[in-house]
């Protein structure tokens, strides 16, 4: 990871770094009174069932004030059923409690908490509140922008009660408590010179996403590269591929594709 | 009565001693054009702002104000902070006429008190630029640095006798 950070520093692209990560949230929030709408499709190859399945997530994000943002999320999926059906709802809140801004740099800390209700009964050992299971998650995010590089880390705990799980998976009892972590980096590739809000941006990201179950000796580590286009400084198109580096968990799939589109409405909430 | 007339005359004289032409604001903590646009939109929405000309690369915004409108520089700072960022620099350019300033003096322009810090005694004439050095207009580091140049308590609070006082330098 350190090698990667140095690589970014050496490349030294001539524009501010990006922290609009595709697979994680930065500590920074949204502008106050803004609204954002995001539609995401996640596509996996279910190796156990030998078929392709997908999840479609609709997310409404509100910048309540300068420090607080709230997301309401709903998902449809055919991951655990034969056909697409309404799968889960989730509420996410993030509060930025520390900010140190300087020219072209900042350090920010935020705390977040979320709760989800899912209709699924999951036979896999991965602990997830992103549609898969009913549960709660809370954690801390730290984001540092250093002129041309933005790195961010998230540390959190997730709990998905056994009532939302099948009692035992194909590999034995399932964990229901987990420690999650992420380390993300991103930079702006294009445009080289910023002169206009109408210029399309191309951002590249690399994220390390991991989980360690705390009640069983099970874990995974994923790597997720992603590309992002930003149109008119207002709409984002994300394309990411997430794959397993290492794991001893029973998972539905070892990799997934993600495509999402997000539209930001500034000053939407008066 | 004489005193009041005298004060009124002095105030009136001061009011015509400076006419704001434009301002330059620099925002800090920005990472992207999306963020810059959020700041741009927030500044555009400030009632007395007429036009905002952004420079995305430098994170600066050239501001012009509506003629005759009362200027509230704290509203500019609040707009930037609400957009999620901070102000690291605010410069005001005005046409001055025979305005005498010296270190640690307060002048009132258009009913707003400005306290000059770290300036040589001089008479301002023609177009000049003053820098705001209060807490919400500079980085924390710069605020600390300027704090060493003035002994005034109001530098920390930004108010004197309950009234807003802006600290500026040249």
- Per-residue pLDDT at A102: 83
Q: What is the pTM of this model?
A: 0.84
**Distance (Å) from the alpha carbon of A130 to chain B's nearest alpha carbon:** 26
Cα A51 from Cα A207, distance rounded (Å):
27
Nearest to A149 by CA among A2, A30, A22: A2
- Per-residue pLDDT at A14: 33
Enumerate chain B positions whose Cβ falls within 8 A of a Cβ in A. Answer: 26, 28-34, 36-38, 40-42, 45, 54, 56-57, 59, 81-86, 88, 139-141
B67 — phi, psi (to 5°)?
Answer: -60, 135
ipTM of the complex: 0.77
**Which of A101, A147, A197 is the mutation pick for testing B, counting most B CBs within 10 A?**
A101
- Residue B84 pLDDT level (bands cut at 50, 70, 90): confident
Range of lowest pLDDT (A171-175, B12-16, B18-22, B129-133): B12-16
Are residues A51 and A66 in contact, defined by beta-carbon separation less than 8 angstroms?
no
Say how many CA atoms lie within 13 Å of A41 toward its Cβ.
9
Interchain contact, A102 vs B88, CB within 8 Å: yes
Supply the mean pLDDT for chain A.
88
Render pLDDT for B53-71 as a digit per residue (tens, 0 to 9).
Answer: 999 888 899 999 998 888 8
Q: Which residues does chain A have within 8 Å of residue B45's beta carbon, measured at their own beta carbons?
A: 267
The distance of Cα A165 from the centroid of its chain, to the nearest Å, equals: 23
Report the share of chain A in percent with pLDDT over 90. 63
Residue B27 pLDDT greater than 60, yes or no: yes
A53 interfaces chain B, CB cutoff of 8 Å: no
A64 interfaces chain B, CB cutoff of 8 Å: no
B13 — phi, psi (to 5°)?
Answer: -60, -45
Cα–Cα distance list, A246 to A180, A253, B54 (Å): 15, 13, 47
Cα–Cα distance list, A29 to A154, A247, B1, B27 (Å): 14, 32, 56, 16
DSSP bridge pairs for B5: none
Residue B15 pLDDT greater than 60, yes or no: no
Report the share of chain B in percent with pLDDT over 90. 33
Interchain contact, B88 vs A101, CB within 8 Å: yes
Q: Which residues does chain A have within 8 Å of residue B84's beta carbon, measured at their own beta carbons?
A: 28-32, 63, 66
Task: For residue B116, give both structure tokens.
Answer: 């000059």
- Per-residue pLDDT at B55: 92
The distance of Cα B168 from the centroid of its chain, to the nearest Å, equals: 7
Range of lowest pLDDT (A153-157, A260-264, B94-98): B94-98
Range of lowest pLDDT (A14-18, A122-126, A221-225, B142-146): A14-18
Interchain contact, A101 vs B85, CB within 8 Å: yes
For strand B60-65 and strand A35-46, is the pairing parallel, antiparallel, or unpaired? unpaired
Render pLDDT for A62-105 as a digit per residue (tens, 0 to 9).
Answer: 999 989 999 999 999 999 999 999 999 999 999 999 998 887 78
């Amino acid at each position: 990871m350190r090698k990667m950070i140095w690589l970014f520093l050496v490349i030294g692209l001539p524009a501010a770094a990006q922290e609009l990560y595709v697979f994680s949230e930065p500590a920074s929030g949204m502008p106050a009174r803004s609204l954002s709408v995001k539609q995401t499709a996640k596509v996996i190859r279910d190796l156990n069932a030998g078929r392709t399945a997908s999840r479609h997530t609709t997310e409404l994000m509100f910048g309540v004030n300068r420090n607080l943002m709230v997301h309401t999320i709903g998902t449809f999926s055919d991951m655990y059923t034969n056909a697409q059906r309404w799968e889960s709802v989730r509420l996410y809140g993030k509060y930025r409690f520390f900010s140190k801004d300087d020219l072209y740099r900042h350090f920010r800390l935020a705390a977040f908490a979320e709760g989800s209700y899912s209709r699924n009964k999951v036979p896999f050992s991965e602990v997830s509140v992103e549609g898969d299971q009913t549960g709660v998650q809370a954690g801390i995010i730290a984001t540092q922008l250093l002129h041309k590089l933005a790195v961010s880390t998230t540390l959190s705990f997730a709990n998905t009660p056994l009532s939302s799980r099948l009692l035992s998976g194909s590999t034995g009892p399932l964990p229901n408590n987990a420690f999650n972590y992420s380390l993300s980096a991103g930079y702006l590739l294009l445009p080289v010179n910023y002169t206009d809000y109408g210029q399309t941006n191309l951002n590249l990201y690399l994220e390390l996403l991991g989980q360690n179950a705390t009640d069983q000796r099970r874990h995974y580590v994923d790597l997720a590269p992603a590309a992002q286009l930003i149109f008119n400084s207002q709409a984002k198109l994300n394309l990411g591929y997430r794959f397993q580096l290492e794991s001893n968990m029973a998972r539905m799939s070892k990799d997934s594709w993600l495509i999402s589109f997000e539209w930001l409405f500034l000053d939407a909430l008066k | 009565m004489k005193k009041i007339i005298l004060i009124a005359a002095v105030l009136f004289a001061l009011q015509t001693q400076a006419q704001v032409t434009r301002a330059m604001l620099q925002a800090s903590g920005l990472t992207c054009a999306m963020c810059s646009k959020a700041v741009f939109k927030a500044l555009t929405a400030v009632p007395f702002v007429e036009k905002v000309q952004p420079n995305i690369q430098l994170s600066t915004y050239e501001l012009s104000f509506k003629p005759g409108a009362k200027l509230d520089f704290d509203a500019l700072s609040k707009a930037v902070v609400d957009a999620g960022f901070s102000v690291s620099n605010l410069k005001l350019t005005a046409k001055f006429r025979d305005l005498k300033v010296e270190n640690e003096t307060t002048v009132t322009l258009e009913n707003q008190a400005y306290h000059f810090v770290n300036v040589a005694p001089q008479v301002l004439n023609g177009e000049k630029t003053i820098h705001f050095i209060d807490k919400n207009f500079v980085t924390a580091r710069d605020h600390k640095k300027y704090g060493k140049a003035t002994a005034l308590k109001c530098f920390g609070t930004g108010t004197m006798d309950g009234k807003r006082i802006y600290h500026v330098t040249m």
